[in-house]
Structure 1
């Protein structure tokens, strides 16, 4: 079976779209997904399945909408894809250390997209690239490095211009999820 990580966009953020992780786990199990585990309150769910990504996304989104009345976008990565994300960070250690030194909060993030952005859409976010807000697009993942807060970043606030469903996770969360996913492969 394939180990998947589901990243749910927009739940349990700012007191909106609240879903308890135990309830979310039950929803995943109710549609036949195996070894379901949740990680922190921001909508990260690990599970096993032999189904294809697209049908899984549709099934999960539909069930969450039906049970909780919340429209939610689900972005999936396999454990192998997540491991690849972690092992292939395009920013150097020096760049990351510099950003972390200047910032009082997390600096390194990955925006996970449902599919590759169109080249012409990338031009819309290029104008927000700066010395303090950097990015690298690798397939359907965007590595983001902020020298200040992601919350005040014009780059992060304009990712929607790619016109692709996106959710963002910090590096520590992705690293922990990669470790958890690896233990499920045994």
Structure 2
């Protein structure tokens, strides 16, 4: 059975979308997912399901809507996809915690960076369903504006690598 990695949008960020990871694990088990594991408090959950990735993400998003009052948005990837994302990092000299991978629910449009404003020297590259952003001064202090990121859920490169590693461990069992 495939291992899915679900990335929840707007969960436990800035005091909004509060969700305990123990609640997320229980919810995943209630909808029939197995081998459920979470990673840190920002809405990362790995699980096995016979459902295709899109269907598993939709089921999780709908279940979350029932307990959170609205669907947060869920993007699902697999281990190989995360490994490829990490390998194709267009900013290899960036510190991994200063490089954010923004996961979109669909491929970015051709003009995704047309409104990109980077007053602090940020750099961005589009790669299909992901947008890499290097924040040389850290993302917390950044004044970057890019409207498409409102639809994305972001993880730093360290987290992307750790999730791929965790998925490999689940697959090995």
Are 1:135 and 2:121 matched, yes or no?
Answer: no
Q: CA deviation at 1:131?
A: 7.6
Aligned partner of 2:138 among 146, 149, 154: 149
**Shift in alpha-carbon separation, 1:124–1:141, aligned structure 2, 3 A:** same
Moved over 3 A (4+): none
2-structure distance, mates of 1:168, 1:55: 21
Specify which structure has the higher proportion of helix: 1
Aligned length: 172
Q: CA deviation at 1:7?
A: 0.6
2-structure distance, mates of 1:182, 1:78: 10
1-structure distance, mates of 2:14, 2:78: 28
2-structure distance, mates of 1:121, 1:109: 16
Query: Which 5+ residue runs of structure 1 have no aligned equivalent?
Result: none
Q: Deviations over 1:52-74 (max 9, x none)?
A: 22222221111011123243111
RMSD: 2.0
Structure 2 partner of 1:2:
2
Are 1:118 and 2:104 matched, yes or no?
Answer: no
Structure 1 partner of 2:99:
108
**Shift in alpha-carbon separation, 1:129–1:55, aligned structure 2, 3 A:** same
1-structure distance, mates of 2:149, 2:38: 28
Q: CA deviation at 1:48?
A: 1.2
2-structure distance, mates of 1:50, 1:164: 30
1-structure distance, mates of 2:149, 2:165: 31
TM-score (norm 2): 0.89
Structure 1 partner of 2:29:
29
Q: CA deviation at 1:6?
A: 0.6
Structure 1 partner of 2:60:
60
Q: CA deviation at 1:151?
A: 2.6
Query: Which 5+ residue runs of structure 2 have no aligned equivalent?
Result: none
